[in-house]
Amino acid sequence: MKISILTPDLSHNCFGRAWLLAKILQKHYDVEILGPVFGEGIWKPLADACDFEVKTVKGYESGHFEARKMLRMISGDVIYASKPLMPSFGVALMKKVRTGMPIALDIDDWELGFGKEFYNSLSWPKKIKDFYLSRSDFRSYYYTILLNKLIRFADDISVSSNILHSIYGGTIIWHGRDTNTLKPERFNKSKLRKKYLFDIKEDVFVISFIGTPRPHKGLEDLIDAVGFLKKKSILLMIVGIEDNDYHNSLKNKAEGLGLKDDIIYFPPQAFEKLSHFLAITDLVVVPQQKRAASYGQVPAKIFDAMAMAKPIIATNISDIPEILDGCGWVIEPENPRLLAETTQYVLDHPAEAGKMGRKAREKCDKKYSWHIIEKNLIKIFERYS
């Protein structure tokens, strides 16, 4: 049996979820991934990490994409649509209407939250203008609302968190990570520090954020926390910085706080290199803010850090408290001073931090590793074989 996995955009980080599903499913089925490219090529972290067929169609700045071409390119026996969005689930529904092909839908974010946050920020005149301009943009909030109303036409549903399960039902498929590949003992911390951080001293405590910086992810809070610490023995490493207005605003904020020499930035990295950056990290921070965009979201980087046995501080958002129960520090969101105090505690208690990291690794292997996720994922597609 062949599974066609549809993703709404191959050029941004939403491709990560489709890639994970494909990597697990390809052990049992023939797999292909299809989707539009709205940016410059396939998302850089995964551009060289695909050992299955990837089919692309052109996406346009207007929000249009080559939907008819994409429909013709689907060659699977069943469709697995990543996210209830027009370029993935919308295309899947069109294919189902034409051919009767079954659809499984994967939901890893509360997509309505992203649009709701943007929509609520507009004045009424701007809301009216946005509605008029967005009628032809298939990525708009209004198409997201429409596609959410059509979820009932999916034959199966998978979700990535308990909160999303409470909304949509279905089978929980955690983001998870391959714990057979992500093993801390495989990496030499000292050598990798010299490679990426050059002449940094061994006693410098490295805090990292590794992912795609966005407003709801709390980078401003993390930068403020480093400012409160004001210690030369601390280095904040942010991996995933690009040349755009928001990312540049983070740099400006850090400079304004006098932290220019306390933060190091790296662009998005190839997926296989993320383990290198985790290896040189002493503490991973996931400072999600309490917003509609983060409701139901479980950042995949938590599982990366767990697999690499790293101490983790994260905020009380979505399923994070359950995931890190007994193996990490969970604090209230949007509180930089509390984040600074918790970071200082981790720094002052290295033995406890190491123990927490080892517990995180054990929990990840037992509950969130690919070999565990695989069992539930395969059950979804057994009836289509």
Structural domain containing residue 153: 2-176+370-382
Domain co-membership, 291 together with 346: yes
Residue with tokens 């050029």: 11
Residue 187 in tokens: 């990496």
Domain co-membership, 106 together with 205: no
Domain co-membership, 188 together with 163: no
Q: What is the pLDDT of residue 125?
A: 62
Taking the C-alpha atoms of residue 77 and residue 54, their distance in angstroms, rounded to an integer, is 16
Q: What is the pLDDT of residue 120?
A: 64
Domain co-membership, 198 together with 228: yes
Domain co-membership, 344 together with 198: yes
Taking the C-alpha atoms of residue 135 and residue 63, their distance in angstroms, rounded to an integer, is 10
Q: What is the DSSP letter of 330?
A: E
Domain co-membership, 93 together with 203: no
Domain co-membership, 259 together with 139: no
Domain co-membership, 239 together with 276: yes
Taking the C-alpha atoms of residue 355 and residue 349, their distance in angstroms, rounded to an integer, is 10
Nearest residue to 221 (alpha-carbon basis) of 250, 259, 244: 250
CATH number at residue 315: 3.40.50.2000
As a 3-state breakdown, the chain gives helix, strand, coil percent values, each rounded to 5, of 45, 15, 35
Collapsed DSSP state (helix, strand, coil) of residue 132: helix
Domain co-membership, 29 together with 142: yes
pTM comes to 0.92
Domain co-membership, 206 together with 156: no
Domain co-membership, 147 together with 29: yes
Taking the C-alpha atoms of residue 124 and residue 126, their distance in angstroms, rounded to an integer, is 5
The CA distances from residue 81 to 10, 39, 200, 222, 300, in Å, are 13, 20, 45, 34, 19
pLDDT, tens digit only, all 385 positions of the chain:
999 999 999 999 999 999 999 999 999 999 999 999 998 899 999 999 999 999 999 999 888 899 999 999 999 999 999 999 999 999 999 999 999 999 999 999 998 877 666 656 656 565 555 555 566 677 778 888 899 999 999 999 999 999 999 999 999 999 999 999 999 999 999 999 999 998 888 889 999 999 999 999 999 999 999 999 977 799 999 999 998 999 999 999 999 999 988 999 999 999 889 999 999 999 999 999 998 888 888 999 999 999 999 999 999 999 999 999 999 999 999 999 999 999 999 999 999 999 999 999 999 999 999 999 999 999 999 988 8
Residue with tokens 């209230």: 332
Beta-carbon contacts of 87 under 8 Å, excluding residues fewer than 6 positions away, are 6, 7, 8, 9, 35, 36, 59, 65, 67, 70, 138, 139
Q: What is the pLDDT of residue 302?
A: 97
Residue type, 18: A
Q: What is the pLDDT of residue 137?
A: 75
User: Residue 302: which H helix or E strand, with range?
Assistant: helix 300-307
> How many structural domains does the chain have?
2
Taking the C-alpha atoms of residue 149 and residue 205, their distance in angstroms, rounded to an integer, is 48
Contact of 85 with 64, CB cutoff 8 Å: no
Domain co-membership, 318 together with 302: yes
Phi and psi (nearest 5°) for 86? -60, -45
